Amino acid sequence: MELIDYSSSVWSISPALLAIVLAIATRRVLVSLSTGILVGALMLNNASILPTFIYLKDNIVSLVYSDGSINSNMNIVLFLILLGVLTALLTVSGSNRAFVEWAQKRIKDRRGAKLLAASLVFVTFIDDYFHSLAVGAIARPVTDRFQVSRPKLAYILDSTAAPMCVMMPVSSWGAYIITLVAGLLTTYSITEYTPMGAFVVMSAMNYYAIFALLMVFFVAYFSFDIGSMARHEKEVMARENQEAEDESGVKGHVRNLVFPILVLIVATISIMMYTGGQALAKAGSSFSVLGAFENTNVGISLVVGGVSAVVISTVLIILDGQVNFAEYVRAWKLGIKSMSGAIAILFFAWTINKIVGDMQTGKYLSSFLVSGNIPVQLLPVILFILGAAMAFSTGTSWGTFGIMLPIAASMATNAAPELMLPCLSAVMAGAVCGDHCSPVSDTTILSSTGAKCNHMDHVTTQLPYALTVATASCLGYITVGFTESGVAGFIVTALSLLMLVFIVKKR
C-alpha cells in the first residue's frame, strides 16, 4: 500500500498532537486516540475511504498477529490479565487486608506508606512494566488505608519506573541502551570508553532521571503537592476511607501475598536470564548477566512470572480452604474485567504509535534539528528538548533512543567530540521526560493501571512535577555545554530545582 510521505512536512506531527491535545482538553482518552488514529489514517491514504479502512484493518490485525505468529504485544496483554487476576485473588483470600494490618504495625502514617511505594523500585527495577504493575498491586492496599490518593500513587509508580530502569545496566532498558551505545562507539572509532563505561558516565549525567527519582522521595516525605495533585490529596483526606477493595470477610495471611509476589519476581528474572542465555547460545556467545538482559524476551518472562504467581496464589487458597469455588471463579472474572480499560487504551495507543511511525514524525523532528545552524554549546539542551518532544508525540522512549542517539552521536562527532557523552545522555533524559508527560505512553498507561487511577488524572497531576524537573535539567545541560563538566551541570540542576521548588511552594 502506497502511503503519502510526510517526512519533510510539519503535518507529520498533527495526528499525535491532535490526540494529545484532545486527551488533555476532553479527558476522554479513547475518543481522543481514535480521532488521532482516524485523521492520521486518512492523511496517509489521501482521504480515500477504502484504502483507509484496509490500512486500519491491517494495522489492528498486526497488533495481534504478524509475520506468521502471535505478536509480542499479546504477551503484555496477557501479563496485564494475569496481574489483574492475581490482585483479585489476593483480595478474595484476605491477604491484602492481612498485609495492610501487618503494615499498620510498622508503617504509622501516610509518609511511611508513600515511602514504601517509592522504595520498592530498588527491588523491581528490572523492567518498567513489571515495576508499575507489581508495585501497584503490593502498595495500593497500604496507600489506600493511609488515605494516599490514587494519582499520588500513580505518580510514584511512573516517576520511579523509567528513571530507575534507564540508569540501571542490569535492566531491560539498560541492556538496550548499552547495545545502541556499543554500536555508536564502534561506528565512530571511540576507544577511550567501553560500552559499559560510557553507559555509567551517561547515567551520571542523566539529570532528568536522577532528579525525577529524588523528587519522588521529596514529595513522599514532605507531601509537596502542587497543581491538581493538591486537590486530589485534599479530597481523599476529607473522606474517612478510600473505597475499600477488600470486600471479603476472610481472615487472610500475609504469606499469601508475600509468596506469590516473590514467585512473580524470581520467576520473571529467572526466565529473563534463561531466554537471554538461550539467545546468546544460539549466537555462539558465552553467557553473561548483561548479555542475557540484552537478548532476553521480556514479554514471555512476564507471562511465565504471572502464571507462576497465579498458580502459587491458587495453591495457597486451596490449602487455606476459606474460599469456595464460586468465589474463586468470581475473582477471576473481576480480575480480568479490572484490566479491560487499560487493555483498550493500550491497543489504541499502539495503533496511533504505528500511525505516527508511518507519518515519519520522528524523521521530521530529527531532520528539523540537523538542518539548523546550532551553536555547539547548546547541543545538549537542544537534544534534551527534542528528545522530550519526540517521546511526547510518539509515546515511546525506546523509539526515541533508536532515532535520536545516532543523530546525537553524529552531530557531536562532527561539531564537538568532547560533548559526545553529554549529548547522548541528554537524549536519554529527554526521552524519559517526554515519555512521562505523554498520555499515549505505555509506561504512563500502565502506571495509572497499577494504581487503579483515572488515566488523565495521572497525566495532569504528574505534569507539573515532570516540567519542574525538566526545567532544572535544561539549565544543567546548558551548563554542561559551556563548561564541559558533568559535575557542574549536576550542581546547577540541583540548585535550580531547589529554587523552583521553593518558588512553587511559596506560591
Integer Cα distance of 151 and 273 in angstroms? 34
SS3 181: helix
C-alpha 358: how far from chain center: 23
Q: Is the predicted pLDDT of residue 67 greater than 80, yes or no?
A: no
Integer Cα distance of 109 and 267 in angstroms? 33
- pLDDT score recorded for residue 332: 92
Bridge partner residues of 25 (DSSP): none
Integer Cα distance of 111 and 115 in angstroms? 6
Angle of helix 172-187 versus helix 150-167 axis, rounded to 10: 40
Integer Cα distance of 209 and 213 in angstroms? 6
Whether the CB-CB separation of 246 and 97 falls below 8 Å is answered with yes
Distances (CA, A) of 378 to 50, 208, 295, 392, 476: 47, 17, 35, 21, 11
- pLDDT score recorded for residue 492: 96
Q: What is the 3-state secondary structure (H, E, C) of 35-100?
A: HHHHHHHHHHCCCCHHHHHHHHHHHHHHHHEECCEECCHHHHHHHHHHHHHHHHHHHHCCHHHHHH
Integer Cα distance of 369 and 372 in angstroms? 6
How many Cβ atoms are within 10 Å of 41's Cβ, its own excluded?
25
- pLDDT score recorded for residue 20: 75
Query: Which of 383, 353, 354 is closest to 368 using CA atoms?
Result: 383
- pLDDT score recorded for residue 213: 95
Lowest-confidence region among 55-64, 94-103, 297-306, 310-319: 94-103
Q: What is the mean pLDDT of residues 24-42?
A: 84
pLDDT tens per residue, range 444-494: 988 998 898 999 999 999 999 999 999 999 999 999 999 999 999 999 999
Q: DSSP string spanning 376-413?
A: GGGHHHHHHHHHHHHHHHH--HHHHHHHHHHHHHHHHH
pLDDT band (50, 70, 90) for residue 367: low
pLDDT band (50, 70, 90) for residue 310: very high
Whether the CB-CB separation of 220 and 142 falls below 8 Å is answered with no
Q: Is the predicted pLDDT of residue 147 greater than 80, yes or no?
A: yes
Query: Which of 428, 439, 444 is closest to 208 using CA atoms?
Result: 428
Whether the CB-CB separation of 109 and 222 falls below 8 Å is answered with no
Give the global pTM: 0.79
- pLDDT score recorded for residue 190: 81
C-alpha 16: how far from chain center: 18
- pLDDT score recorded for residue 365: 66
Stronger pLDDT, 188 or 153, i.e. the higher one = 153
Cell triple for 380: 545538549
Tell me the CB-side half-sphere exposure of residue 218, using CA atoms within 13 A: 18
Which residue, chain included where needed, has cell 504467581?
A: 309
- pLDDT score recorded for residue 432: 93
Q: What 8-state DSSP symbol labels residue 122?
A: G
pLDDT tens per residue, range 112-128: 999 999 998 888 777 78
- pLDDT score recorded for residue 393: 82
Integer Cα distance of 455 and 465 in angstroms? 16
Stronger pLDDT, 85 or 339, i.e. the higher one = 85
Q: What is the mean pLDDT of residues 403-419?
A: 80
How many Cβ atoms are within 10 Å of 490's Cβ, its own excluded?
18
Q: What is the mean pLDDT of residues 245-266?
A: 76
Q: What is the mean pLDDT of residues 32-43?
A: 90
How many Cβ atoms are within 10 Å of 97's Cβ, its own excluded?
24
Rounded percentage of the chain residues whose pLDDT exceeds 70: 94
User: What average pLDDT does the structure give for the chain?
Assistant: 85
- pLDDT score recorded for residue 373: 61
What are the backbone dihedrals phi and psi of residue 65, each rounded to the nearest 5 degrees, phi first? -140, 120
pLDDT tens per residue, range 223-241: 899 888 999 999 988 875 5
pLDDT band (50, 70, 90) for residue 163: very high
pLDDT tens per residue, range 4-29: 888 888 888 888 788 878 877 786 77
Q: What 8-state DSSP symbol labels residue 252?
A: -
Alpha-carbon torsion (191, 192, 194, 200), positive or negative: negative
Best mean pLDDT range from 89-103, 408-422, 482-496: 482-496
- pLDDT score recorded for residue 19: 82
Q: DSSP string spanning 408-452?
A: HHHHHHHH-GGGHHHHHHHHHHHHHHHHHH-TT-HHHHHHHHHTT
Integer Cα distance of 453 and 458 in angstroms? 7
Q: What 8-state DSSP symbol labels residue 283?
A: T
Distances (CA, A) of 253 to 37, 165, 311, 361, 481: 47, 32, 17, 52, 56
Rounded percentage of the chain residues whose pLDDT exceeds 90: 29
- pLDDT score recorded for residue 493: 96
